Amino acid sequence: MSVATPCPPMRREATSTDGCRIAWWSAGRRDGPAVVLLHGFALDHTVWAPLMKQSELIERCHLLLPDLRGHGASERMPTAAHYTDGAVWADDLAAVLRDAQVTSPTLVAWSFGGRVALDYVRRHGSDALHGIQFVAAAGLAHYASAGPDHAVLEALCAAEPATVDEATGRFVGEVIGAPRGSAEFDGLVAAAARCPVEHRRWMRQRGLDYDALIAALDLPLMWVNGSEDGIVLPSRAEAFRAVQPDTRVSLYEGARHAPFRDDPARFARELHAFVTHPPPSRRAARPGTVAA
């Protein structure tokens, strides 16, 4: 039997239930296990670029990289209601999965992407998912683990353009870790500029109400954090594992808010291991469940 070879990223478009057009990219091996990379607040799928160079993923997995609504090449919707209702974010992801025609995908949910993953589970359930890897993710209302850089997210929504510009540079440079003056820094700043400030404010109106949902998750889970993350402190990992004891935790010493950029080779190895050899979960204990 022939084996598909990795393909370069190919852009596609899905339409959500409210008509929002969601741009997404397909990369890697189409016959490999599906992995969906959900980016964070005010950026787009290009933040995952370092992983596209990792053979551990690109030669073994089918990668799906959507731009969240209001970000990147996806549509900007006109009202706050198009951003404050978790159901629309859930349906965006469901539309991408339908368009991709994948089965049993693993979600990799970074920062704000954690909300999207949890929105999906709340609305559509977890039966169709293989697992979720949370990366310094939003979701658990553990406010003691909000770091000193958390205020930069509010500054990204400021009314004064100068404040937004300064916050964008700090967010991309110091929080994400892209070297100032580099092509990757300029690219991520440009990506942030494509997310309108007013739309960012609408997104920030959403509360964190996922605690009960997280406690009830019954699929394989992983939590990744950088030791120097100034947005989500590493203590969030233990707070998460307190309610989900089987969670696989990986701490990146010296890494910031985007550990997949600080050490993409390690991240790719650990993600592939999570996909192929997931930790135990409550799902395995369900009546009638057949072990993979």
What topology is assigned to 7-146+209-279 in CATH?
A: Rossmann fold (3.40.50)
The identity of residue 99, as a single letter, is D
pTM of the model: 0.94
Band (pLDDT 50/70/90 cuts) for residue 147 is: confident
pLDDT in tens, 83-111: 999 999 999 999 999 999 999 999 999 99
Name the token pair of 231.
């947005």
pLDDT digits (tens, 9 = 90+) for 35-48: 999 999 999 999 99
Between the two ends of the chain, the Cα-to-Cα distance in Å is: 22
Cβ atoms of 69 and 112 closer than 8 Å: no
Q: In the predicted model, what is the mean pLDDT of the chain?
A: 93
How many Cβ atoms sit within 10 Å of the Cβ of residue 183?
9
Q: What is the DSSP string of 61-81?
A: -EEEEEPPTTSTTSPPPSSTH
Output the CA–CA distances (angstroms, integers) from residue 8 to 27, 42, 103, in the order listed: 6, 25, 21
Asked whether the CA dihedral 30, 93, 242, 150 is positive or negative, the reply is positive
State the pLDDT confidence band at 290, using cuts at 50, 70 and 90.
very low
- Cα gap 269→283, rounded to integer Å: 24
* pLDDT tens digits along 58-71: 999 999 999 999 99
pLDDT digits 0-9 by tens, 124-146 = 999 999 999 999 998 876 666 67
Predicted confidence (pLDDT) at residue 291 exceeds the cutoff of 50: no
Q: Which of 2-16, 173-187, 268-282 has the lowest mean pLDDT?
A: 2-16
pLDDT interval class at 240 (50, 70, 90): very high
Q: Find, among 95, 70, 73, 94, the residue nearest to 84 by Cα.
A: 70
pLDDT in tens, 72-85: 999 999 999 999 99
Q: How far apart are CA 292 and CA 267, in angstroms?
A: 24
